[in-house]
Chains A and B, each alone.
Chain A
Amino acid sequence: AQSVAQPEDQVNVAEGNPLTVKCTYSVSGNPYLFWYVQYPNRGLQFLLKYITGDNLVKGSYGFEAEFNKSQTSFHLKKPSALVSDSALYFCAVRPTRDSGSARQLTFGSGTQLTVLP
């Protein structure tokens, strides 16, 4: 079965500084990887995904993530944080079609990002 680890429950960063939200995964075969953001009392919003190809993926609102197969990681990054980026961030993994594993989307436990003015 697949799993996702987000080792930090909380990340604090000053506005204008770069931010990183960490994610590692475990899956049989090749993964599809996703980042979602959730604001209070709202649904999840899709930020970006890795399917195949270039390891650096660019997404919405200036976010990007780097797929590292050897480290089984998919960390979310942004060069300059905004106060409005403060939210709950979820990493998610799904095995590819050929893996033979259950193909449910598995979410990490979430990381609360707080950007301080």
Chain B
Amino acid sequence: DAMVIQNPRYQVTQFGKPVTLSCSQTLNHNVMYWYQQKSSQAPKLLFHYYDKDFNNEADTPDNFQSRRPNTSFCFLDIRSPGLGDAAMYLCATSRPGGSDYSNQPQHFGDGTRLSIL
């Protein structure tokens, strides 16, 4: 089945130690998103890619970076994790939907739960 896969499901890192979360998709979708979700709160969009076009949200901390080497893969890099960065990180994809991808549903992976020691 086509899907969005996030690895690992659980990640533990030390305060200040860089960590990378990965996301892959077999849906061949042009758009990929990274969200942060804390304690069953609403997901918060960090950034998204339309193909290789990177779109950063204004309030995403500089500590968070992303790479998309090809259509299938996208990475979230946290350069110096703080205790406040402990959360579930969700990757999602969507189709372009013609000229407006806003009306396309997003397909989510099962997330990576990040813990900071």
Contacts and interface: CB of A to CB of B under 8 A. Distances in A.
Interface stretch (A66-74, A77-85, A107-115): A107-115
Contacts of B70: none
A108 B42 contact: yes
- Contact-residue size bin, chain A (C-beta under 8 Å from the other chain): 20 to 34
B102 A43 contact: no
B66 to A, nearest CB: 16
A96 B111 contact: no
A63 interface: no
Contact of A109 (B4, B42, B106): B42
Given A104-B57, A107-B43, A110-B40, A46 B106 contact: yes
B5 to A, nearest CB: 10
A49 B43 contact: no
| Interface of chain B: mostly helix, strand, loop or mixed | loop
Interface residues of B, number: 22
A103 B6 CA distance: 25
Residue in B103, B106, B110, B113 with the greatest tally of chain A CB atoms within 10 Å? B103
Given A43-B110, A110-B42, 19 more contacts: A32-B102, A32-B103, A42-B111, A43-B4, A43-B6, A43-B92, A43-B108, A44-B43, A44-B92, A45-B108, A46-B107, A90-B42, A90-B43, A94-B102, A94-B103, A104-B57, A105-B45, A105-B102, A107-B42
8 contacts: A36-B108, A41-B113, A43-B90, A45-B108, A90-B42, A96-B103, A107-B43, A110-B42
